[in-house]
Amino acid sequence: MRKSIYQDAKQKYAKYGIDVEKAIKKLGKVKISLQCWQLDDVQGFESNGPLTGGIQTTGNYPGKARNFEEITQDLDKVLSYVPGSKKINLHAIYQVGDIVDRADVGPKQFEKWVEYAKSRNVGLDYNPTCFSSPMVKNGMTLSSPDENIRKYWIKHAINSRLVAEYFGKELGQKSLCNLWIPDGLKDVPNDRIGPRQRLKESLDEIFKVKVDHRYMDDSVESKVFGIGVESYTTGSHDFYLSYAMKNNVLCLLDTGHFHPTENVADKISSILLFSPRLAFHVSRPVRWDSDHVLRLNDDLQEVANELVKCNALDRAYIGLDYFDASINRVAALALGARNMEKALLKALLTPWDLLKKYQDEEDFTSAGASFLAKVEAASTGPFARVLKNFSATCGNIAYVRTSSSVPFPPAALEASTILSHSGSILSAGRHVITSVILFWASACLTTSAFASVGSLPNLPVTRLAKSAVIFS
């Protein structure tokens, strides 16, 4: 029955010139970079001090990861829920073992992460951490008027690039080293060019150090404003886009870092005409850069559509960037990743070539409501069937568990299986994996739910005496 349903979906898409098997294969190669900071509220392993530099979380849901062992245990669970290729996105504050000053961080502090990535067959991306530090002076780092402050963060950024190069060499896939800084001013500045001049000079010093770009790429990330820097952001989009284009580094677009009326997807085609690659941090900004968990909404779909229409999936780094401490963190990370993949699959199953043809022929009726109505009618049902096949075909990474008591068999749970557990309480590893109740149930109704959810009974609960998750 399953095969016949999927074959029927393939035939319906074929009517519009869409090769479903090709779409699934292409999606399976897209590496979604999962940000580890959703699992511990951007705390890292250096200390338990407060977040600063425009970074904050809201909520105190139980079960937050507190160390490398707990965060990788949670990552294992996330990886088991998300089919396809993945990477893990790290910040410098996630160094393991002998913790050193951030300016001195190097490959040695991330050896355990490389071991983990190898055992799970995932890549690693990297971010210098230029916040939550006493060396952030008056909200400034690389653009600070204090030369000692600038030198500190220049050294940190240079060493961070070497860490990313190390990741690429060890794992056989390029690592992205992305630089974001919180620099700016709360009130209207008297001098706009001065901080930007200092930032430019700092970046020049950072990128003057040669690394092997076979193993890593550099990117710079802009922002409209941040908490405490509402009036002026040194690293604006105009600044970083200009710098990236002139200095052969990548411009990273964070979907939460623009004005609410801006269409981030619209920027993709322009940048790709002048840059070989593009980088993304994908979040859902309810109010500015509030970094909510990704939903399959219009904004996310437009980004996915544009990447596919521009034939840019192999030219784009796609990283997630959100954190919500008010809900189960494992559920949040898995849900957002799956919605990213759903958006990409929907884009891959849309007949863009035909729609472009109608546009070029100025046949706007066919390109608009009349044609799209037919596509919508044909795709609503088949999409779920194709997504189910993608989850089952692509599967999850093979990895070795530290405890044999936590099995993750390859079989995927059907949506009907999840719904059959209505009202039940299920332990899932260290803390229960919330299905995000109705939120997640609605997402799963059109899919095979989670690929490889694993054996449900008799799973250990280590930090919480009792954790509960309701799957419907």
Q: In the chain, what is the straight-line distance between the N-terminal and C-terminal CA atoms, in Å?
A: 25
Instruction: Look up 288 and say whether it is catalytic.
Output: no
Q: SS3 for 96?
A: coil
Instruction: Look up 291 and say whether it is catalytic.
Output: yes
Instruction: Look up 361 and say whether it is catalytic.
Output: no
Instruction: Look up 257 and say whether it is catalytic.
Output: yes
The one catalytic residue among 76, 170, 321, 324: 321
The one catalytic residue among 76, 221, 299, 306: 221
Chain centroid to CA 352: 25
Q: SS3 for 148?
A: helix
The one catalytic residue among 37, 113, 153, 180: 180
Instruction: Look up 289 and say whether it is catalytic.
Output: yes
Helix or strand run (H / E) with residue 253: strand 250-254
Helix (H), strand (E), coil (C) string for 178-231:
EECCCCEECCCCCCCHHHHHHHHHHHHHHHHCCCCCCCEEEEEECCCCECCECC
The one catalytic residue among 46, 254, 324, 341: 254
Instruction: Look up 153 and say whether it is catalytic.
Output: no
Instruction: Look up 223 and say whether it is catalytic.
Output: yes
CB 217 within 8 A of CB 317: yes
The one catalytic residue among 12, 281, 342, 388: 281
Chain centroid to CA 227: 22
The one catalytic residue among 257, 267, 342, 431: 257
Q: Say how far apart CA 13 and CA 16 lie, in whole Å.
A: 6
337: phi then psi, degrees, rounded to nearest 5: -65, -45
The one catalytic residue among 41, 46, 70, 289: 289
Token pair for residue 447? 């899919």
The one catalytic residue among 10, 77, 223, 388: 223
15: phi then psi, degrees, rounded to nearest 5: -60, -25
Instruction: Look up 180 and say whether it is catalytic.
Output: yes
Please give the positions annotated as active site: 180, 221, 223, 254, 257, 281, 289, 291, 321
